[in-house]
């Protein structure tokens, strides 16, 4: 099937994007590698002066037969040894340091980009022809650039009613209004989103972007179903906004929490036996796969699947839009770290697409265990009925416990019927007792337009419900158990259980 090109969304660009002229110096940089040109045009240091002749890595070898967290022995059956050299390509698709550590490839080095394009084709269905990917220094960078590409001061974006606080803060710091979209345990409620936009107050700027974390949402841990994504995409077309899918947790799709141990074992065995095709098919449909117009920008990151300090991620979307990111990055980050590109590319090229999928599948198994532990412990320590609700996630790193604040014996007196005061008090109490989970109010999306939106649009379903977000990613099982025991003891004590 021949695919058509993406649509033009330049009417949604910021004034900054419309005004940016390409740096004239960047227009000739491609001639640096032309053997017929004596390039005296740029301040590029001679690569002979880069003080790394080679870097040698020992990494786990697919199919990671002892599990992906296990120590490698240095022996051939579980250890991959590779060298990235300054001057030579050891393997055909390597990126020697003389290239990656030099100025130039703002979009990213071609070898790693090609790997990521192939990976994208395995994960998404593309419905328009001119899509591409560019590297970022992670989704934090991808998001900050997105705001600059699309938003002016005073513009409005939509975000889940509880969302990743750093992303909200980044928008707010740029003078962008973050308007909340109601969510439930399955993420954005499409009907509510549509109603907000259908009833949008005339005279206030219409939202240009929807910022969403569809999988293992931070902080709620919820995941959007394929059906909801389809409905949201239709609303985006109807109301002409761009969807930014921020997906650092996409590959941590653990599936449902099963309390019954027999059922659990059966499910886990089935997961284990999945071949690559079945594994990829089991993943949630992405907004990118629904996009026929080029109005979705996807942000992927190696932070949660390889290492956050690598500061490497990638954006995928229409070339018509991505070219503006490249122009912006030429003047901001200049490009992702050359070390990260060479070393991660060296690994990925040797693992191959199959080895990388083995890795992602192995990582999922680890997170299944971690998620199950966390929820098992909470069931062990918290009463089955009462004001506490344990919310087992189907993806990501986070779980939440929601609490009916009105059940606190001092709700009306000491806390003046203010659920946030209860939340703050519990936060302080748990920290005093040696465990830290973070209160939901740290993640509230609460921007408002001028003139304001109808009161209905911001109605919260259950204003007396508070929640705490915890992660099972960061600690080993015994510590997790101890932490959740302390947390649960505090809650029981506070609420008189």
Question: Which residues contact ligand PLP by CB under 6 A?
Answer: 138-140, 164, 213, 218, 246, 248, 301, 303, 308, 313
CB of 143 to ligand PLP, least distance (A): 7
What whole-number distance in Å separates Cα of residue 138 and Cα of residue 132? 17
Closest CB to ligand PLP belongs to which residue?
138
Decide: 190 and 481 in contact? Cβ < 8 Å. no
CB of 222 to ligand PLP, least distance (A): 12
- Which of these, 311, 345, 347, 352, lies nearest to 99 by C-alpha position? 345
Positive or negative, the Cα torsion across 249, 251, 257, 261? negative
Closer residue to ligand PLP in complex, CB, 311/364? 311
Closer residue to ligand PLP in complex, CB, 138/362? 138
CB of 34 to ligand PLP, least distance (A): 35
CB of 199 to ligand PLP, least distance (A): 28
Decide: 305 and 67 in contact? Cβ < 8 Å. no
28: alpha, beta or left? (left if phi > 0; alpha if psi -120 to 50): alpha
Decide: 109 and 88 in contact? Cβ < 8 Å. no
Closer residue to ligand PLP in complex, CB, 102/218? 218
Record the tokens describing residue 25, joined without a space.
């110096």
Cα–Cα–Cα angle for 125, 126, 130, rounded to 5 degrees: 165
CB of 205 to ligand PLP, least distance (A): 25
CB of 248 to ligand PLP, least distance (A): 5
CB of 315 to ligand PLP, least distance (A): 11
Closer residue to ligand PLP in complex, CB, 303/457? 303
CB of 218 to ligand PLP, least distance (A): 4
Closer residue to ligand PLP in complex, CB, 180/313? 313
The beta-strand segments (E) located in 152-240 are 156-160, 177-181, 183-184, 187-188, 209-212
Closer residue to ligand PLP in complex, CB, 382/397? 397
Closer residue to ligand PLP in complex, CB, 221/248? 248
Positive or negative, the Cα torsion across 360, 364, 365, 369? positive
Decide: 5 and 130 in contact? Cβ < 8 Å. yes
Instruction: Mention every residue, 6+ apart, whose C-beta is less than 8 A from residue 397.
Output: 216, 249, 252, 304, 367, 471, 472, 473
What whole-number distance in Å separates Cα of residue 63 and Cα of residue 356? 9
Closer residue to ligand PLP in complex, CB, 162/350? 162
> How would you class 73 by CB atoms within 10 Å of its CB: exposed for 0-12, middle for 13-18, buried for 19 or more?
exposed
What whole-number distance in Å separates Cα of residue 422 and Cα of residue 424? 5
What whole-number distance in Å separates Cα of residue 32 and Cα of residue 341? 20
- Which of these, 155, 143, 157, lies nearest to 210 by C-alpha position? 157
How many CB atoms are closer than 10 A to CB 295? 24
| Angle at which helices 338-381 and 477-495 cross, to 10° | 50
CB of 217 to ligand PLP, least distance (A): 8
Instruction: Give the gyration radius of the chain's Cα atoms.
Output: 24
CB of 167 to ligand PLP, least distance (A): 6
Closer residue to ligand PLP in complex, CB, 29/395? 395
Pairing relationship of beta strands 398-404 and 388-391 according to DSSP bridges:
antiparallel
Pairing relationship of beta strands 465-471 and 398-404 according to DSSP bridges:
antiparallel
Closer residue to ligand PLP in complex, CB, 248/419? 248
CB of 307 to ligand PLP, least distance (A): 10
Q: What is the Cα 426 distance to its own chain's centre? A: 29
Closer residue to ligand PLP in complex, CB, 96/313? 313
Closer residue to ligand PLP in complex, CB, 100/340? 340
CB of 213 to ligand PLP, least distance (A): 4
């Amino acid at each position: 099937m021949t695919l058509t090109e993406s649509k033009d969304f330049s009417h949604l660009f910021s004034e900054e994007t419309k005004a940016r002229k390409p740096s004239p110096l960047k227009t000739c940089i491609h001639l640096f590698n032309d053997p017929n040109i004596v390039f005296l045009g740029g301040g590029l240091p001679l690569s002979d002066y880069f003080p790394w002749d080679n870097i040698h890595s020992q990494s786990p070898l697919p199919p990671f037969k002892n599990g992906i967290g296990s120590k490698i022995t240095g022996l051939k059956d579980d250890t991959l040894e590779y060298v990235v050299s300054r001057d030579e390509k050891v393997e055909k698709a390597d990126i020697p340091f003389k290239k990656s550590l030099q100025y130039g490839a703002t979009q990213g080095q071609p070898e790693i980009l090609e790997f990521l394009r192939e990976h994208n084709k395995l994960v998404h269905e593309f419905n328009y022809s001119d899509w591409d990917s560019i590297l970022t220094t992670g989704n934090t960078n991808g998001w900050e650039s997105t705001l600059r590409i699309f938003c002016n001061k005073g513009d409005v974006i939509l975000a889940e009613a509880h969302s990743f606080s750093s992303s909200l803060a980044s928008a707010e710091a740029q003078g962008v209004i973050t308007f909340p979209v109601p969510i439930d345990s399955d993420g954005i409620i499409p009907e509510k989103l549509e109603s907000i936009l259908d009833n949008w107050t005339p005279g206030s700027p219409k939202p240009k972007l929807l910022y969403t974390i569809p999988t293992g949402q931070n902080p709620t841990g919820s995941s959007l179903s394929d059906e909801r994504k389809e409905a949201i995409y239709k609303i985006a077309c109807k109301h002409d906004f761009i969807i930014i899918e921020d997906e650092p947790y996409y590959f941590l799709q653990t599936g449902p929490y099963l309390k019954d141990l027999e059922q659990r074992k059966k499910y886990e065995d089935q997961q284990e036996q999945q071949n690559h095709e079945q594994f990829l098919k089991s993943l949630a449909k992405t907004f990118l796969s629904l996009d026929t117009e080029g109005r979705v920008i996807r942000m992927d990151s190696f932070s949660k699947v390889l290492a956050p300090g690598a500061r490497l991620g990638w954006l995928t979307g229409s070339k018509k839009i991505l070219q503006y990111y490249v122009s912006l990055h030429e003047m901001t980050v200049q490009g992702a770290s050359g070390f990260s590109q060479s070393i991660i590319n060296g690994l990925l090229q040797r693992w191959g697409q199959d080895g990388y999928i083995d890795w992602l599948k192995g990582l999922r198994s680890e997170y299944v265990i971690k998620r199950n532990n966390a929820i098992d412990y909470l069931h062990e320590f918290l009463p089955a009925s009462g004001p506490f609700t344990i919310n087992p996630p189907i993806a990501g790193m986070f779980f939440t416990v929601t609490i009916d604040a009105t059940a606190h014996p001092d709700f009306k007196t000491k806390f003046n019927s203010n659920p946030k005061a209860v939340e703050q008090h519990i936060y302080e109490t748990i920290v005093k007792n040696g465990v830290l989970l973070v209160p939901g109010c740290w993640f509230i999306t609460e921007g408002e337009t001028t003139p304001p939106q109808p009161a209905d649009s911001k109605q919260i379903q259950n204003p007396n419900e508070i929640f705490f977000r915890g992660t099972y990613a960061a600690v080993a099982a015994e510590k997790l158990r101890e932490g959740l025991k302390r947390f649960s003891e505090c809650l029981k004590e506070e609420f008189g259980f």
